[in-house]
Amino acid sequence: MIIFRDTFTGDELFTDSNKITKVGNNEVFRVTCVEKVTTENANFDIGANASAEEAAEELQETVVKGVDIVIQQHLEECTNDYPLKLYNAFLKTYFKRIIAGIMESDLSDEDKKAQSNSFKEEAVKFTSLVKKNFDEIQFFRFPIDYEDPKDIDGFIIPLHRCSETDVITMWFFRRGLKEEKC
């Protein structure tokens, strides 16, 4: 199994158990998600002994419905009124950090330039795709611990539910991911 983590925070984003499609110059991963319904038993044990006169208390079941990656990674949805202008500002900063990573790598100057240009080309296509489908996209991120600066650096993940096909996808930048084999 391969776990894909956020390069900047180390948070686990998804695994290869999801269908992954590499888009364009392999700079963007489109990850197919599934709608999931799970039940979780909640035991509210407060340490008291069960009454001998009453039947044993049963566990309460909680039903959780949502997208598999969102549920598994405990992602939070960004507010519904998340404006395109704010997301574009986030992407601009995020893209600069990825390009800085390419430029700081051990590659030759020629390879750095080629990879940087490839990434920029796909970043422009991705930004256009988000603009085109903005009203159909939800945005998710890990819960933020404002006392830990690396938490604020994590990727804001777009989720698109295609109204025509009911396919749910999330998009990630390959250079914003670290692969970890288990």
- The reported pLDDT for the residue numbered 13 is 93
Mean pLDDT score across all residues of the chain: 84
- The reported pLDDT for the residue numbered 61 is 74
Mean pLDDT of 52-73: 73
Which is more confidently placed, 41 or 57?
41
- The reported pLDDT for the residue numbered 39 is 76
Mean pLDDT of 98-115: 94
Sequence-distant (6+) residues with CB within 8 A of 44 are 60
Asked whether the predicted pLDDT for residue 150 surpasses 80, the reply is no
pTM of the complete model? 0.80
Which is more confidently placed, 147 or 2?
2
Asked whether the predicted pLDDT for residue 100 surpasses 90, the reply is yes
DSSP conformation letters of the chain: -EEEEETTT--EEEETTSEEEEETTTTEEEEEE-EEEEEEEE----SPPPPSSSPPPPPEEEEEEEEHHHHHHT-EEPPTT--HHHHHHHHHHHHHHHHHHHHTSSS-HHHHHHHHHHHHHHHHHHHHHHHHTGGGEEEEEPPP-TTSHHHHTS--EEEEE-TTT--EEEEEEGGGEEEEE-
Mean pLDDT of 35-39: 83
Band the pLDDT of 123: cuts 50, 70, 90.
very high
Band the pLDDT of 153: cuts 50, 70, 90.
confident
- The reported pLDDT for the residue numbered 80 is 61
- The reported pLDDT for the residue numbered 170 is 95
Mean pLDDT of 130-158: 79
Q: Per the structure block, which two tokens stand in for 98?
A: 């990825």
Band the pLDDT of 54: cuts 50, 70, 90.
low
